Amino acid sequence: MAKDVFLEFPFVSFVVEMGFRSLNRMPRDSREDIEHWVRPEIRALTAYHVPDPGQCIKLDAMENPYGWPDELVDAWLERLRGVPLNRYPDPTARRLRDSLRAAMEVPADMGILLGNGSDELIQMIAQTVTAPGRAILAPEPSFVMYRLIAQVTGMRFVSVPLGDDFGLDLDAMLEAIEREQPAVVFLAYPNNPTGNLFDAAAVRRILAAASGLVIVDEAYAAFAADSFMGTLGSHSNLLVLRTLSKTGLAGLRLGLLAGPPAWLNEIDKTRLPYNIGVLNQASAEFALEHRSVLDAQTARIRADRATLFAALVALPGLQVYPSEANFILFRTPAGRADTVFAGLRERGVLIKNLNAVGGALHDCLRVTVGTPAENAAFLAALRASL
Ligand SMILES: *Cc1c(COP(=O)(O)O)cnc(C)c1O
Separation of 325 CA from ligand 1 center, angstroms?
12
Separation of 240 CA from ligand 1 center, angstroms?
13
Separation of 151 CA from ligand 1 center, angstroms?
18
- The number of C-alpha atoms within 13 Å of 42 and in the hemisphere containing its C-beta is 9
Nearest CA to ligand 1 atom 15: 192
Whether pTM exceeds 0.85? yes
Separation of 219 CA from ligand 1 center, angstroms?
5
pLDDT in tens, the chain (386 residues): 444 444 455 555 555 555 555 555 556 678 889 999 999 888 888 877 788 888 899 999 999 999 999 999 999 999 999 999 999 999 999 999 999 999 999 999 999 999 999 999 999 999 999 999 999 999 999 999 999 999 999 999 999 999 989 999 999 999 999 999 999 999 999 999 999 999 999 999 999 999 999 999 999 999 999 999 999 999 999 999 999 999 999 999 999 999 999 999 999 999 999 999 999 999 999 999 999 999 999 999 999 999 999 999 999 999 999 999 999 999 999 999 999 999 999 999 999 999 988 899 999 999 999 999 999 999 999 999 99
194/271 same-domain check = yes
Pocket perturbation via mutation, ligand 1, pick of 220, 241, 243 by most ligand atoms within 8 A of CB: 243
Atom of ligand 1 nearest to the CA of 122: 10
Flag whether 52 is in a domain: no
* Domain end call among 259, 289, 319: 289
233/329 same-domain check = no
* Domain end call among 256, 289, 322: 289
- Ligand 1 neighbours by CB, cut-off 6 Å: 62, 117-119, 143, 188, 192, 217, 219, 243, 245, 255
Separation of 15 CA from ligand 1 center, angstroms?
58
Flag whether 131 is in a domain: yes
Flag whether 217 is in a domain: yes
Domains contained in the chain, number: 2
CATH assignment of the domain containing 303: 3.90.1150.10
Flag whether 36 is in a domain: no
95/191 same-domain check = yes
Each as own residue / partner, the long-range contacts of residues 100-106 (CB below 8 Å, 24 or more positions apart, any chain) are: 100/256, 100/284, 100/288, 102/288, 103/288, 103/291, 104/221, 104/229, 104/242, 104/256, 104/258, 105/229, 105/230, 106/229, 106/232, 106/256, 106/258
Flag whether 352 is in a domain: yes
Flag whether 5 is in a domain: no
* Domain end call among 272, 289, 306: 289
Separation of 107 CA from ligand 1 center, angstroms?
22
Nearest CA to ligand 1 atom 14: 219
Q: Taking the mean position of all CA atoms in its chain, how far away is CA 110?
A: 24
Domain that holds residue 311: 57-62+292-385
